[in-house]
């Protein structure tokens, strides 16, 4: 058996040197810390305002002359996410949203309808292509998040031609098939949990092409296709999650000019997601219908940058 | 946080991040998750910096937080996916010994953490015991078993237990 020093030397010389981007990681950490402080301040101020409103309501609405027969009021209003508005913006000009928690629908299967509640900070909006976005479609600093339910097929688009890519039935199969399509900066799927559901996470980098190119997802019960990756230098962070048997794919993408802090914010938004599954037989609320992305199933290929 | 405090924190981050990341990576064997765990550890340090600035070794505090978190995650993932070993391709730029990396990955997570902390990070046994919340004799046992297994890979062949 090796002596301590021999083993120490072997481990030091034969194991990988990670060469981390220390400055980049420091920038990311400081951005996260600032974001946490901002959120806490906002929550604190919101709490103060809410308390003031409640106290004012109690003072103004209190029946100073006691009526013994009157029942005590019960406040059972739950904290709920706001549905995305019916008036969406456009791909080239997203409609701005106030910061808050919103509910969006994962495009795809009708039932069970999967909805996502997520926290949006300032600077986000919605358009007729994606659930939420920060800017025009072709702006290099734009970030977007979208979700698809019941994805079962993948097609690679190259110069207007589509080629089907085989996938298996599981979330890992889907994640692995997607991982095989990205460029050099792509990563393998790694296990992850999102809102208590298991799945896989991977990063896909746009492979780039001399003509328009992308990866399309074919939904299980719809024939439309949705572009997943964009032009070269675009990055997609993809979560493939099994939500009660429905494969939900969440794509958080950013253009090449997005800063480290903006990328960190993108991931934080995804990590704020909770899922709402609507079973068959339940009516789809009008607010949910309003969330349908009119142009989402068009094959909008990225323009060359 | 005051500018001066922030500057001090940045200095600690720059000096400690690479080694803490390496420890987390060797416990988790996945660069992405190792970066996450290490980021979380330093974020906690940042958030309590007004107290932590008086610590003798702020990096040691972060290492404790990160290693405990990494062990928890590694144990959870091992239960979920037995036998699955992820080797990060990006991390292999220096052509590491993949057999050694694999052998390290196959050690139980606590044994692996003890080996990494003792042989790579040069932490003394008592500190490792405190950091992992186990006794010193348990750490020594982990180190013995780990050294035995890794020696088999490095030397080759079956190694007898010579006591």
What ipTM is given for this predicted complex? 0.73
Average pLDDT over residues A24-48: 84
Interface check B135 vs A, CB under 8 A? no
Interface of B with A in 7-46 (CB under 8 A): 10, 13-14, 17-18, 21-22, 25-26, 30-33, 35, 38-39, 42-43, 46
Helix pair B31-47, B58-80: axis angle to 10 deg:
140
Q: Are A92 and A62 in contact, with CB atoms under 8 Å apart? A: no
- Cβ contacts of A18 on chain B, cutoff 8 Å: 18, 21-22, 25, 31, 91
Smallest Cβ–Cβ distance between B46 and the set A15, A25, A33 belongs to A33
Q: What residue in B sits closest to A37 (Cα-Cα)?
A: B47
Average pLDDT over residues A269-283: 77
Please judge whether A15 and B96 are an interchain contact, meaning their C-beta atoms are less than 8 angstroms apart.
yes
Residue among B22, B23, B27, B92 with most chain A CBs within 10 A, to mutate: B22
Q: Are B36 and B25 in contact, with CB atoms under 8 Å apart? A: no
Least confident piece of the model among A77-86, A120-129, B66-75, B142-151: A77-86
- Cβ contacts of B46 on chain A, cutoff 8 Å: 29-30, 33
Q: Are A179 and A190 in contact, with CB atoms under 8 Å apart? A: no
Which of A194-208, A209-223, A274-288, B73-87 is modeled with the greatest confidence? A194-208
Q: Which residue has the higher pLDDT, A302 or B113?
A: B113
| Paired residues of A205 in beta bridges | A235
Q: Are A35 and A265 in contact, with CB atoms under 8 Å apart? A: yes
SS3 B53: coil
Which is it for strands A225-227 and A161-165: parallel, antiparallel or unpaired?
A: unpaired
| Residue A219, min C-alpha distance to chain B (Å) | 29
User: Can you tell me the distance from the alpha carbon of A11 to that of B130, in angstroms, rounded to the nearest whole number?
Assistant: 23
pLDDT per residue as tens digits for the range A257-275: 889 899 999 999 999 999 9
| Residue A188, min C-alpha distance to chain B (Å) | 9
Find tokens 């994805």 and name the residue: A151
Average pLDDT over residues A267-294: 66
Least confident piece of the model among A34-48, A166-180, A200-214, A218-232: A218-232
Q: Are A121 and A102 in contact, with CB atoms under 8 Å apart? A: no
Is A45's pLDDT higher than 50?
A: yes
Interface of B with A in 49-108 (CB under 8 A): 77, 80-81, 86, 88-89, 91-94, 96-97, 100-101, 104
Q: Which residue has the higher pLDDT, A212 or B63?
A: B63
Write the DSSP string, chain A: ---HHHHHHHHHHHS------HHHHHHHHHHHHHHHHHHHHHHHHHHHHHHHHHHHHHHHH--SS--TTSPPP---PPP-PEEPPSS--BTTBPEE--SEEEEEE-EE-SSSEEEEEEEE-TT-EE-SSSSEESS-TT-TT-EEEEEEESEEEEEEEETTEEEEE---SSHHHHHHHHHTTS-TT----EEEEETTEEEEEEEEE----SS-EEEEEEESS---EEE---STT-EEEEEEEEETTEEEEEEEEE-TT--HHHHHHHHHHHHT-EEEEE-TTSPPPHHHHHT--TTTTS--PPPP-
Q: Which residue has the higher pLDDT, A206 or B114?
A: B114
Q: What residue in A sits closest to B28 (Cα-Cα)?
A: A190
pLDDT of the residue at A127: 78
Q: Are A189 and A172 in contact, with CB atoms under 8 Å apart? A: yes
State both tokens at B26: 């060797």
Q: Are A250 and A131 in contact, with CB atoms under 8 Å apart? A: no
Confidence of residue B159 (pLDDT cuts 50, 70, 90): very low
Q: Is the pTM of this model over 0.95?
A: no
Interface check A22 vs B, CB under 8 A? yes
User: Can you tell me the distance from the alpha carbon of A26 to that of A32, in angstroms, rounded to the nearest whole number?
Assistant: 10
Average pLDDT over residues A215-220: 53
pLDDT of the residue at B20: 92
């Amino acid at each position: 058996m090796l002596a301590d020093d021999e083993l120490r030397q072997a481990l030091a010389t034969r194991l990988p040197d990670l060469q981390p981007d220390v400055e980049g990681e420091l920038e990311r950490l400081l951005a996260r810390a600032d974001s946490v402080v901002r959120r806490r301040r906002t929550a604190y101020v919101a709490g103060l305002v809410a308390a003031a409103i409640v106290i004012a309501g109690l003072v103004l609405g209190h029946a100073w002359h006691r009526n013994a027969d009157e029942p005590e009021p019960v406040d059972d209003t739950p904290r709920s996410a706001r549905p995305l508005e019916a008036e969406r913006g456009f791909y080239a000009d997203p409609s701005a949203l106030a910061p808050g928690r919103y509910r969006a629908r994962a495009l795809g299967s009708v039932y069970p309808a999967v909805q996502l509640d997520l926290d949006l900070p300032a600077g986000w909006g919605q358009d007729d292509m994606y659930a939420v976005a920060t800017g025009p479609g072709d702006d290099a600093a734009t970030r977007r998040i979208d979700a698809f339910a019941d994805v079962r097929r993948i097609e690679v688009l190259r110069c207007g031609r589509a080629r089907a890519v085989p996938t298996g039935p599981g979330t890992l199969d889907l994640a692995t098939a997607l991982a095989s399509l990205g460029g050099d900066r792509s990563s393998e799927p790694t296990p992850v949990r999102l809102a208590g559901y298991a799945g896989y996470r991977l990063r896909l980098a746009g492979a780039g092409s001399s003509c328009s190119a992308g990866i399309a997802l074919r939904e299980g019960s719809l024939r439309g296709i949705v572009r997943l990756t964009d032009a070269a230098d675009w990055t997609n962070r993809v979560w493939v999650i099994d939500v009660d048997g429905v494969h939900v794919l969440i794509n958080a993408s950013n253009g090449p000019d997005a800063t480290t802090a903006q990328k960190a914010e993108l991931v934080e938004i995804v990590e704020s997601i909770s899922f709402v599954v609507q079973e068959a037989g339940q009516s789809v609320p009008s607010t949910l219908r309003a969330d349908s992305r009119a142009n989402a199933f068009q094959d909008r290929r990225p323009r060359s940058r | 946080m005051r500018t001066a405090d922030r500057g001090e924190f940045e200095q600690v981050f720059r000096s400690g991040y690479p080694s803490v990341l390496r420890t987390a990576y060797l416990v988790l064997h996945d660069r992405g998750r190792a970066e996450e765990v290490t980021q979380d550890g330093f974020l906690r340090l940042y958030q309590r910096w007004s107290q932590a600035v008086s610590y003798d070794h702020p990096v040691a505090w972060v290492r404790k937080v990160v290693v405990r978190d990494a062990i928890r995650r590694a144990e959870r993932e091992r239960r979920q996916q037995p036998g699955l070993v992820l080797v990060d391709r990006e991390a292999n730029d220096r052509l590491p010994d993949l057999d050694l990396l694999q052998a390290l990955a196959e050690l139980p997570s606590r044994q692996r953490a003890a080996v990494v902390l003792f042989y790579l990070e040069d932490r003394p046994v008592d500190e490792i015991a405190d950091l992992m919340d186990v006794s010193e004799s348990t750490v020594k046992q982990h180190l013995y078993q780990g050294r035995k297994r890794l020696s088999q890979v490095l030397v080759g062949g079956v190694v007898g237990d010579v006591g």
